[in-house]
Amino acid sequence: MRCQFCGSPDSRVVDSRPADDGNTIRRRRVCSNCGRRFTTYEKVETPQILVIKKDSSRELFDAQKVRSGIIAACHKRPVTAAQIEKVVNSVEQLAVNSMQEEITTRQIGEMVMDELRKLDEVAYIRFASVYRQFTDIPSFMNELNRLLGDGKEARE
């Protein structure tokens, strides 16, 4: 690893430890040339996934867009930032594990809804109402009834 102070290409690791919930390795290094210490982070490179949008255009998967939608759905709900991050990570991991180079926004939306349904039913309905673009009360009520039916079966 090149030293950020003197540019020397030679450094050695003096300490390594997990960081960021075990997804990253923090390495403390010392430059063999100038002796200064610096920190680097090592993370597994995940494959880039293209998202196929409704208009058939493609763009790179962006976890921040998923996070923004989940935050909006969870507004004023008893959901912590850690829980939101867990849902984002879960959706990202599901997308990566699908072993597909391209994934549709519909598939991502369904993954988010599955995770939100487990976390908070109100957040799920909020996300579904935007995602599924309910245009009338009957379609919204059908989704509510479906949610209530699933919850009733789970309680029995």
Residues 54 and 37 in one domain: no
Helices (H), 1-155: 63-73, 81-97, 105-119, 121-131, 137-155
- For residues 79 and 151, membership in a common domain is answered with yes
What is the average pLDDT value for the chain, to the nearest integer? 88
**Is there a domain that residue 4 lies in?**
no
Are 56 and 38 in a shared domain? no
Instruction: Decide if 1 is inside a domain.
Output: no
Structure-block tokens of residue 35? 């002796």
Torsions phi, psi of 7, nearest 5?
85, 0
- Give the CA diameter of the chain: 72
Report pTM: 0.64
Averages of pLDDT over runs of 10 residues in the chain (156 residues) are 94 91 88 96 84 95 95 95 94 89 93 93 88 77 78 48
How would you classify the pairing of strands 58-60 and 102-104? unpaired
- Residue 101 within a domain: yes
In this predicted model, what pLDDT tens digit does every residue of 111-128 receive, in sequence order? 999 999 999 989 988 898
Matching residue, tokens 């926004």: 105
- Do residues 25 and 58 both lie within one domain? no
Domain total of the chain: 2
Same domain, 57 and 101: yes
Are 86 and 117 within one domain?
Answer: yes
Q: What gap in Å lies between CA 108 and CA 67, rounded to an integer? A: 12
- 19 inside domain: yes
Asked, for residue 65, whether it belongs to a domain, the answer is: yes
- Do 25 and 42 meet the contact criterion of CB atoms below 8 Å apart? yes
Give the domain extent around 148.
Answer: 50-155
